[in-house]
Amino acid sequence: MSCDVCEDLQEVDAIVDRWGRNPEFAIEMMQDVQDRFRYLPRAGLERMSELTGTDMGRLYHIATFFKAFSLKPRGEIEVQVCTGTACHVRGAARVLDAFGRELDVKPGETTGDLKFSLSGVRCLGCCSLAPVVTMGADLLGDVDSSKVRRLVEKYRRTAGTPGKEGADA
Ligand code: FES
């Protein structure tokens, strides 16, 4: 077991302790673990299972049921391309393709440097801005495929800088 894993498990212990090791709060604990590590590491789930007495099968069921959870490492910046009807009509598929080419990943995948994860998502509720993309906490409207390269470069520069997800790049 490497030191990183030891430290990570200490953080999992702290999260589980914050929720009183109560299995009724398994989802909340998993949200905190996911927030911390950007995914649910297997070792972390095993530790949760051990400390709360929750069956691993139940934790896996929760992890796979909720789309917000990931069992694989996710990128620092989540790129979500809306593929809802309004965005689709205005070229969302081309935007999603362009991100895929630029990042060299398919939807659902994460770049090798763990900077970006790409996904297509349902209507984000702001159809008048179509096509809509979110990059981290930023919601961007009227994104066409010709803007994708510049956006990726801009966000790549600011990745790793807390609070600077492309906002002032
Ligand atoms: S369809 Fe894209 S925001 Fe509604």
Q: C-alpha distances in angstroms, 85 versus 55, 77, 122, 126, 133?
A: 40, 24, 9, 12, 14
Q: What is the pLDDT averaged over residues 29-53?
A: 95
The Cα 124–Cα 132 span in angstroms is 8
Q: What is the pLDDT of residue 2?
A: 45
pLDDT digits (tens, 9 = 90+) for 131-148: 999 999 999 999 999 999
123 ligand 1 Cβ < 6 A: yes
Residue 161: what are its φ and ψ, rounded to 5°? -105, 105
CATH topology of domain 77-158: Glutaredoxin (3.40.30)
DSSP designation for 166: S
Cβ–ligand 1 distance for 126 under 6 Å, the answer yes
pLDDT digits (tens, 9 = 90+) for 19-31: 999 999 999 999 9
pLDDT at 8: 83
- Mean per-residue pLDDT, 158-168: 59
Q: Copy the structure tokens of residue 125.
A: 């509720």
Our answer on whether the CB atom of 103 is closer than 6 Å to any ligand 1 atom is no
Q: How many angstroms is it from 121 CA to the middle of ligand 1?
A: 9
Q: Which of 147-151, 153-157, 158-162 has the lowest mean pLDDT?
A: 158-162
